[in-house]
Structure 1
Amino acid sequence: MTKKMIKKSILVMVFIILGKVLALVRDSLIAAKFGANYTTDIYNFALGIVYLLTTISYGLTTTFIPVHTEHLQKSAKKIRDKFVNNVINVSSIVTIVVTIILIIFTKNIIYIFAHDFVNNPNVFKMSVEMTRIMLLSLIFVSLQSIVTGVLQCHNEFYEPAAMAFVSNAVYIIYLIFLTARYGIKGFAVATVIGFFAQFIINVPKYKKLGYKYQGYINFKDSEMLNMFKLMIPVIISTSLIQLNVFVNRSFAINIFSGAATILDCANKINTLAYEVFAIGIAMIVYPTMSELAAREDKTEYKIAVKRAINIIVLIMVPAAVAIAVLRQPLISIIFKRGAFTSSAAKLTSSALLFYCPAMIFYGIRDILNKAFYSIKDTKTPMINSFVGILINIVINIFIAKYMQVSGLTLATTISSIIVTIGMLISLNKKIGNIDVRKIFNVLAKTIFASLIMGVFIFGVNKFCMLLIASELKASILSIIMSFFIGTGVYMACIHLFKIEEYMYMISLVKQKIRRR
């Protein structure tokens, strides 16, 4: 990553962190207002369907970026605008048709994937109503995917990164002021409004770049059709990743009431660092990798891929260790209040422990996916995703009844490790040597440094819990002290190891200080 890219990544991460802070407030309010019961299970199920279908928009953005980047380099403004508007109109029509079909067959979907909801007529009725409401979000997701794709092609990343902040602000306003009056169904409506807010925040920058909406539609446009063909493996690949989450929820629903919510809470904490750092870095790196691939600059392309993976490792490994050690204080601060009981907190803590390693491989997997997509290989990630979900289902079948929710999280971790290693080997074979040995060397050093950090923050956490009687106050103090002490210990360790990417970032900081 260049100096400019690192600077953009940092600013993008700031926006994502702000969004995650509001997400924590949102999740805390959801736990307090609704607890872990069938109502939150219904909401999480309906949201899971929406997220499963947003893979289509993700595939659209992923394949749109390389095509439109080429337009910006070679085509006239009139041609590029025509293409963008055609994609917007055609994808919107398809999305509306799909949404209508899903609304018609909502009962059948619930019967297949959440059969336990059918046993209680009131629960079944509520699940149908909420799912139908939340399916309307897909229309705004489709529009947002193209607009954000345009912005990223112009290296405008701040608005897309701020989307979570805006939508979470909508959710928090509802949870604070309107929950008592409209309940969980009203929250489903608020979710739709949140997705609309994610779309609308990108529109001013989109217009500022000179784009204007036109009602142009051409279903036979060859370039658009080729893009849609490339989309199919991307959609399948991403759908399988989301389906993996959906399958876990389906297993959880059949374990005990509230198990799906326990799983969801563990997942939310686990993906904190992943969504802040890995997604931000992947967002910045992808247009650069696409450009290098288009120029056929294999040397710089390999360097960009390796450096992105190593930076992910340097960030995600200590984050995973820290969350594993501090999982109980985190759960106490975020969820343990109101209807979210000590029993639910204990179950969430157990599930989270087995989940933590997965976040490291999620981050690496995202970079590898972008690497394949940038060279127009959309099939390899699809095949690996399919293998991953098969592994996950098989492990779930054998261990879920013994380990319950913790078994589901362990299965996800094992699956993610196998799939990521398989993708790394495949990419190395496809483009030549990307110095896999160096990547594993950095991983080994980072794990060692993170474990040393983990010992220190474990001691800090124990000290805080013994020092203060109040669990909430002790948890807050533990998180704050662990952050500063853990960061210091970890940076000292990796500095001694002289890891290249770390030393590069340190040199940039020193240069900036000298200039000032």
Structure 2
Amino acid sequence: MSKDKFIKNSAIVMLLIILGKFLAIVRDALVAAKFGATYTADIYNFSIGIVYLLTTISYGLTTTFIPLNTDHIKNNTKEKRNRFVNNVINSYSIFTILVTVIIFFLSKYIVLIFGSGFSKDPVVFNTSVNVIRLMVLSLIFVSLQSVITGVLQSHNEFYEPAAMSIVSNVVFIVYLFFFTEKYGIYGFALATVIGFLAQLLINIPKYKKLGYRYESYIDLKDEELKKMVSLMLPVIISTSLIQLNNFINRAFAVNIFEGAVTALDLSNKLNTLAYEVFAIGIAMVIYPTLSQYASGENLKEYKKALLKGINVIFIIMVPAAVAIAILRIPLITLLFKRGAFDDRAVTLTANALLFYSPAMIAYGLRDVLNKAFYSVKDTNTPMINSFIGIIINIGINIVLVKYMGVSGLTLATSISSAIITIVMLIKLDKKLNGINLRYIFTSLLKIMFASLIMGVVIFIINNKVNVLFGMNMKGSLISLICSLILGSLVYFSIIYLLRIEEFLYLVNLVKDKIHRS
């Protein structure tokens, strides 16, 4: 993929993800308004949590499917490629149907074991069981979607997969606006299934346009299918370990003080917001490119694409981490300070977020490095590093929680994330016989310098606004807007002067577009 197309795809994908995140915020606000802090809302969140937990299998499939299908695109006929895709679709669909049936019949026991609080009221218990049975039907559409989006991404088609969140959230918002009063939680469960169906449907036209057609072919003994399953398992374990790490942090937080878990969860949501918008979009775009170069054994271009992805991550995530650390109080005030969420809650969350913010840089780089390993069909290294990360995190938690409380938990996460990401970078450098770590380090130093200057500017702006307007909703909004505009101008001016290659290319591309216009 050319630089022009890489940057264009990354920008559009990030815009689509941003729109999806905005609609998700609207959706959550409507859920809160329609259902409130009631058992109805708890039932929905509990049920959708089960669905999301099981989608880690689909994530593992998509991740391991892309390099294998890329091999087919480069080395095999369309007929053989189509047969491989249909074998994966049919085999995985059978597996998903079996899982769906099992969960359907075991839903009562799932609620009794994992949602025991619902069993106190027969109405609440029966409602939760029925909602799970409805929502679990989503898994069938998720399984089909995971293969089809993998096909699209292996052909460097990213817009439809990036837009999936938009279409599903539109379905949710329409239901919440117009149908909640009439159909309640059962209707919302069905709307969730329809939302996942919509995610599948928007990918099908491009899938057909690429020349793929459905066949009822299935061969469970196929060697490539077995290879994909063996590659999937470490990816699924790695993804599950990330969730386990969050659970361990919550377990520590429960024993600190009242409100510690809330402070931890909210700071985590804010910290991962920028990461999910930018880093995941970049990783999505770069992964098929790495897979294509790996398949063609073009190591030179593979390294160039990898360096490009790493530097783009740094260009975005380093200033984002600095800005969030400095503007954490106005950001939390604007988003959450209302009702029972008082000044104490703002302070607790802000303190936790301060030490969490460096982790977003490590998360972003980790995602690109994971994709680099997956593209060369090495799924074990990321899994092993995830295990090591959890052990390191627990060890640091035990030490820091005594002295820093919930902030110690977030700092431990940042430290452990940084350590395993650096280890992964060194391992990848050895695996590829050098990826120009000196160039990466030099670029990072330049970006850090620009980000620190930007940080000083927005720190001064925030203080001035606080003096003039106070630390209220109005002051927070003005501070964030002024800091975003002036901070961005300062940061991008400095990295332009420091000649950061990826940014210079983007500037020249924009100049060329303007000149042509």
Note whether the superposition's TM-score is higher than 0.5: yes
Deviating more after overlay: 78-87 vs 125-134: 125-134
Match of 2:452 in 1: 451
1:359 alignment partner AA: M
1:411 alignment partner AA: A
Q: 1:230 to 1:487 in 2, by over 3 A?
A: same
1:325-382: CA deviations, max 9, x gaps? 2223323333334665555444433332222111111110111011111111111111
Q: Partners in 1 of 2:36 and 2:348 — Cα distance?
A: 14
Check conservation: 2:112, 2:119, Cα contact below 8 A: no
Match of 2:154 in 1: 153
Q: 1:207 to 1:386 in 2, by over 3 A?
A: same
Q: 1:230 to 1:43 in 2, by over 3 A?
A: same
Match of 2:58 in 1: 57
Q: Partners in 2 of 1:72 and 1:189 — Cα distance?
A: 37
Q: 1:118 to 1:58 in 2, by over 3 A?
A: same
Deviating more after overlay: 38-47 vs 462-471: 38-47
Match of 2:282 in 1: 281
Check conservation: 2:111, 2:119, Cα contact below 8 A: no
Check conservation: 1:153, 1:287, Cα contact below 8 A: yes
1:356 alignment partner AA: S
Check conservation: 2:294, 2:375, Cα contact below 8 A: yes
Match of 1:321 in 2: 322
1:281-330: CA deviations, max 9, x gaps? 11111111111112212122112111210110011010111122222332
Match of 1:121 in 2: 120
Match of 1:302 in 2: 303
Check conservation: 1:37, 1:258, Cα contact below 8 A: no
Match of 1:204 in 2: 205
Q: Partners in 1 of 2:403 and 2:112 — Cα distance?
A: 26
| 1:496 paired to 2:509 | no
Q: Partners in 1 of 2:162 and 2:321 — Cα distance?
A: 22
Check conservation: 1:36, 1:339, Cα contact below 8 A: no
Match of 1:214 in 2: 215
Q: Which residues in structure 2 correspond to 1:323-472 (within 5 Å)? A: 323-337=324-338, 343-397=344-398, 399=400, 405-468=406-469, 471-472=472-473
1:188-209: CA deviations, max 9, x gaps? 5544443332222212222333
Q: 1:387 to 1:109 in 2, by over 3 A?
A: farther
Q: Partners in 2 of 1:251 and 1:39 — Cα distance?
A: 28
Check conservation: 1:31, 1:337, Cα contact below 8 A: no
Q: 1:208 to 1:247 in 2, by over 3 A?
A: farther
Deviation of 1:94 after TM superposition, in Å, equals 1.1
1:382-410: CA deviations, max 9, x gaps? 11111112223344455557655444433
Identity of aligned residues (%): 62
Check conservation: 1:35, 1:338, Cα contact below 8 A: no
Check conservation: 2:47, 2:135, Cα contact below 8 A: yes
Check conservation: 1:159, 1:201, Cα contact below 8 A: yes
1:477 alignment partner AA: I
Q: Partners in 1 of 2:221 and 2:151 — Cα distance?
A: 22
Check conservation: 2:111, 2:118, Cα contact below 8 A: no
Q: 1:108 to 1:452 in 2, by over 3 A?
A: farther
Q: 1:470 to 1:249 in 2, by over 3 A?
A: closer
SS at match of 1:218: coil
Q: Partners in 1 of 2:411 and 2:109 — Cα distance?
A: 30
Q: Which residues in structure 2 correspond to 1:35-74 (within 5 Å)? A: 46-74=47-75
Q: Which residues in structure 2 correspond to 1:191-270 (within 5 Å)? A: 191-249=192-250, 262-270=263-271
2:64 alignment partner AA: T
Q: Partners in 1 of 2:39 and 2:201 — Cα distance?
A: 32
SS at match of 2:214: coil
Check conservation: 1:99, 1:138, Cα contact below 8 A: yes
Check conservation: 2:457, 2:487, Cα contact below 8 A: yes
Deviating more after overlay: 448-457 vs 255-264: 255-264
1:11 alignment partner AA: I
Q: Partners in 1 of 2:319 and 2:295 — Cα distance?
A: 35
TM-score (norm 2): 0.88
Match of 2:20 in 1: 19
Deviation of 1:240 after TM superposition, in Å, equals 1.6
Q: Which residues in structure 2 correspond to 1:473-492 (within 5 Å)? A: 473-492=474-493
Deviating more after overlay: 75-84 vs 329-338: 329-338
* Gap runs ≥5 in structure 1: none
1:428-459: CA deviations, max 9, x gaps? 11111111122122222222221221221122
Q: Partners in 2 of 1:282 and 1:233 — Cα distance?
A: 19
2:418 alignment partner AA: I
2:441 alignment partner AA: F
Q: 1:158 to 1:39 in 2, by over 3 A?
A: same
Q: Which residues in structure 2 correspond to 1:132-171 (within 5 Å)? A: 134-171=135-172
Structure of higher RCO (CA pairs closer than 8 Å, 6+ residues apart): 1
Q: Partners in 1 of 2:221 and 2:299 — Cα distance?
A: 34
Q: 1:351 to 1:278 in 2, by over 3 A?
A: same
Q: Partners in 2 of 1:397 and 1:218 — Cα distance?
A: 50
Deviation of 1:254 after TM superposition, in Å, equals 6.8
Alpha carbon RMSD of aligned pairs, Å?
A: 3.2
Check conservation: 2:334, 2:473, Cα contact below 8 A: yes
SS at match of 1:290: helix
Q: Partners in 1 of 2:253 and 2:111 — Cα distance?
A: 15
Q: Partners in 2 of 1:395 and 1:42 — Cα distance?
A: 35
2:216 alignment partner AA: G
SS at match of 2:58: helix
Deviating more after overlay: 43-52 vs 55-64: 43-52
Q: Partners in 2 of 1:119 and 1:312 — Cα distance?
A: 43
2:332 alignment partner AA: I
Q: Partners in 1 of 2:373 and 2:248 — Cα distance?
A: 26
SS at match of 1:479: helix
2:424 alignment partner AA: M
Deviating more after overlay: 123-132 vs 163-172: 123-132
* Gap runs ≥5 in structure 2: none
